[in-house]
A and B are shown apart, each in its own frame.
Chain A
Amino acid sequence: MEALGINLGYFFVQLFNFLVLFVILKAWVYGPIIKMLEDRREKIAQGMEDARVAAEARANAETEAEKIVADAQSEAAQVVREASQRAEEVARDIKAAAEKFAGEAANEARAGVAEERDALLGEVRGQIAVLAMSATQKLLGENLDEKRQHALIDEFFSGVKDGKVVIADGAEGDAVVTSALPLTDGEKKSVEGTVKGSIEFKVDPTILGGLVIRVGDKVLDGSVASKLDTMRQNVK
């Protein structure tokens, strides 16, 4: 030990010297430096936090702006849609009104035309009967009883014989009665007497004679046109 120079006195000198240095450095150096480091770290953390908050705020603002723009766009689209809808509605209303007006006008016109035609046909009915009778007289060369002839012709045109509708015995329900020439009131009455329910009378010269009565989905075809057709089929 002696040769190595180890000496308790020097040892303790160094020991206490170190402790003195330790205390001095701890008080003067480590405290401030640790505080400074902590402050700096805190400052950096604060800066990071601030940056993060700012970034978040910016992101929020961006999303908000996007949202506002989207809202405005959808609102604008809504307004446009409503406006166009309204315009369409107005247009449709106008169109509907116009159509209705046109349809009414047309209906009126049609009804007028039909009435006129019916009236015309009613007027010419007697002359047609006279023409037909004279033509038949000429063809047959014989004079038929004029009264009987009239009855025949009436029967031909109206399908009503002896106050009875030949084909529509016992039909029930709402009926549409189509005749080639307008029916007389008496004939109408006899039709009404035969068919139970409300009756609509129509005139269609193409069926030539007789009656076509539609009751519900049932068609009673007593027209001359269909008879001729059946005959044509048989001849063939």
Chain B
Amino acid sequence: MEQTEKKTGWRWGVHRWWVLAFIIIGFYAAKAYPPIQPHIQLPAENVFETGLTFFGQPFYITNTILAMLLADVIIILIAIAIKRASMNPDALPKGISGAVEGLLEGLYNLTEGTAGKWTKFIFPVFATITLSVLVWNWTELIPGVDSIGWLEPAHGEVHGFEKEELWSGFYTIVESDEAVVADDVHAEDSHEASNGYLIVPFIRVASTDLNFTLALAVIAVVAVQWMGFKALGPKYLTKFFNTKTLFSVPIFGVIDFAVGLLELIGEFAKILSFSFRLFGNIFAGSVLLFVIGTLVPVVAQSAFLMLEFFVGLIQAIVFGMLTMVFMSQATESHGDDH
């Protein structure tokens, strides 16, 4: 970015001066309020204090649920736009609905190339997974996600930060000398404030909550099994309990049976790898953004945002495409290809 500035700086243009202005403003902003690496934790934070009990487990409205609802709103808006666009089929595809239509058309052709006659059943699952994961992942790029939220006192061993009032009712956290904080704590004799404050963001990317990726993985794997039963009927089970050659072929029958059991285990391993792949990529991406934002507050994060843009896209497509490929593999009769 800056190199481009230097090379073509003698020319007059609008956008490059905007970029330069933003860089300078960012520089001063980072100087005034240095970015603080947020507290990183795996479970989602509770946004509202009041909670329910669900199957013996506490249930709060977490920031990932809010992110999920935000993503739902975006997806439903897109759906409405596409529905409206499909009302008059003569109109040229344009805008966001046109782009999503193009994406879905690509996915449809891909599914048709892989799945053949089962496309009608596989495509909706594939497309829904891809679209929702895509929107989840890209909510990470919205400014304010992961950074605007309640200011709450830190609990336990977590090291918090001091708060500073920007204007009435709005605060930011600032780095401060720990000793000073400790002195203040002792002076005020307030246990809660002993560790300073943390931000609990209103919205945290849904893909960084294991519950959500796990649920999506379970849906994907269940869809794969459903597709297998739909295509092959009860014969699909012989893939896992391969008793065809167990008694007729002396040793290899047993081996085949064991391989079938391994396939069964593999189905559960699919759940794990699906959920942890998405979770790991996006969680690592957001941690990367935190760290880079803290280390180099001004320009570097832009490049990493672009990287995260692509990672989010690729992970969405990989999640969907793996589901699609597993589903179309499940429709194929197992015993024939050996």
Q: When A and B assemble into the complex, do they touch directly, with CB atoms less than 8 Å apart?
A: yes
Contacting A5 at CB < 8 Å: which of B44, B108, B218?
Answer: B44
Within 8 A of B (CB), among A1-21: 2-15, 17-18, 20-21
Residue interface bits A33-77, CB-to-B below 8 A is 1, else 0: 111110100000000000000000000000000000000000000
Q: State in angstroms the CA–CA spacing of A14 and B216 once bound together.
A: 8
- What's the nearest-Cβ distance from chain A to residue B46, in Å? 11
Q: Indicate whether B54 reaches chain A with its CB closer than 8 angstroms.
A: yes
Check B43 against A25 for contact (C-beta < 8 Å).
no
A198 and B206 alpha carbons, distance in the complex (Å): 138
B55–A9 contact, CB under 8 A?
yes
Q: A21-B128, A21-B132 are in contact. Are A8 and B57 (CB under 8 A)?
A: yes
Taking CB atoms, residues of chain B closer than 8 Å to A25 are 75, 79, 124, 127-128, 131
| A101 contacts B by Cβ under 8 Å | no
Is residue B154 contacting chain A, with contact meaning CB distance below 8 A?
no
CB <8 Å contact, B120 and A33: no
Please give me the residue from chain A that is nearest to B120 by CB atom.
A34
CA distance A193 to B181 in the complex (A): 180
Inter-chain contacts of B76 with A (CB < 8 A): 21, 24
Q: Does B261 contact A (CB under 8 A)?
A: no
- What chain A residues lie within 8 Å of B65 (beta carbons)? 10, 13
> A104 → chain B, closest Cβ, in Å?
96
A32 within 8 A of B: yes
A10 touches B128 (CB 8 A): no
Interface SS of chain B: helix, strand, loop or mixed?
Answer: helix
Interface residues as binary, B192-211 with A (CB distance below 8 Å gives 1, 0 otherwise): 00000000000000100111
Known: A10-B62, A13-B65, A17-B68. A34 touches B123 (CB 8 A): yes
Segment with Cβ contacts to A, from B80-88, B164-172, B249-257, B285-293: B80-88
What are the residues of chain A within 8 A of B128 when measuring CB–CB?
18, 21-22, 25-26
The answer to whether the Cβ of B226 comes within 8 Å of any Cβ in the partner chain is no
Check if A29 is an interface residue, CB within 8 A of chain B: yes
Confirm or deny: B125 has a beta carbon within 8 angstroms of a beta carbon on chain A. yes
- Shortest Cβ distance from A162 into chain B, in angstroms? 127
Q: Contact: A10 with B131, CB < 8 Å?
A: no
Does A30 have its Cβ within 8 Å of any Cβ on chain B?
A: yes
The count of chain A contact residues (Cβ–Cβ below 8 Å) is: 32
A28 to B123, CA, bound (A): 14
**Inter-chain contact A33/B43, CB cutoff 8 Å:** no
B229 at the A interface (CB under 8 A): no
> B110 in the interface, Cβ–Cβ < 8 Å?
no
Cβ contact of B123, chosen from A8, A9, A30, cutoff 8 A: A30
Within the assembled complex, what's the spacing in Å between the Cα atoms of A26 and B82?
A: 12
Q: Which of A11, A21, A37 contacts B211 (CB 8 A)?
A: A11
Min CB–CB distance B71 → chain A (angstroms)? 9
Minimum CB–CB distance from B54 to chain A (whole Å) comes to 4
Quote the shortest CB–CB distance from B324 to chain A (angstroms): 14
A44 to chain B, nearest CB (A): 13
Contact A32 B86 (CB under 8 A): yes
Q: Is the CB of A14 within 8 A of B82?
A: no
Inter-chain contact A22/B42, CB cutoff 8 Å:
no
CB 8 Å contact bits of B21-59 with A (1 = contact, 0 = none): 000000000000000000000111000000010110111
Whether B214 and A6, one on each chain, are in contact in the complex, defined by CB atoms closer than 8 angstroms, is yes
Q: How far is the CB of B115 from chain A (nearest CB, A)?
A: 14
Q: Cα distance A3–B128 when bound, in Å?
A: 30
Whether B263 sits at the interface, judged by CB under 8 Å, is no
- Contact status A28-B108, CB under 8 Å: no
Bound complex: CA A67 to CA B211 (Å): 78
Chain B nearest CB from A142 CB (Å) reads: 142
Q: Return chain A residues, CB-CB under 8 Å to B211.
A: 5-7, 10-11, 13-14
B145 CB within 8 Å of chain A: no
B64 interface residue per 8 A CB criterion: yes
B101 touches A33 (CB 8 A): yes
A14 to chain B: closest residue by CB: B215
Expressed in whole angstroms, the Cα–Cα distance for A28 and B78 within the complex equals 10
Once the chains are docked, how many angstroms separate the CA of A32 from the CA of B219? 24
Q: Give B52's nearest chain A residue, CB to CB.
A: A9
Min distance, Cβ A25 to any Cβ of chain B, angstroms: 5
Interface residues in A134-157 (C-beta closer than 8 Å to B): none
Is A15 a contact partner of B43 (Cβ separation < 8 A)?
A: no
Is the CB of B72 closer than 8 A to any CB of chain A?
Answer: yes
- Interface residue from A2, A3, A11 paired with B214 (Cβ < 8 Å): A11
Given A9-B54, A25-B127, 6 extra CB contacts under 8 A: A3-B42, A7-B57, A26-B128, A28-B82, A29-B104, A30-B127
19 contacts between A and B (CB under 8 A): A2-B43, A4-B42, A5-B209, A5-B211, A6-B214, A7-B57, A9-B58, A10-B64, A15-B218, A20-B72, A21-B72, A29-B82, A29-B104, A29-B127, A30-B127, A32-B83, A34-B108, A34-B123, A37-B108
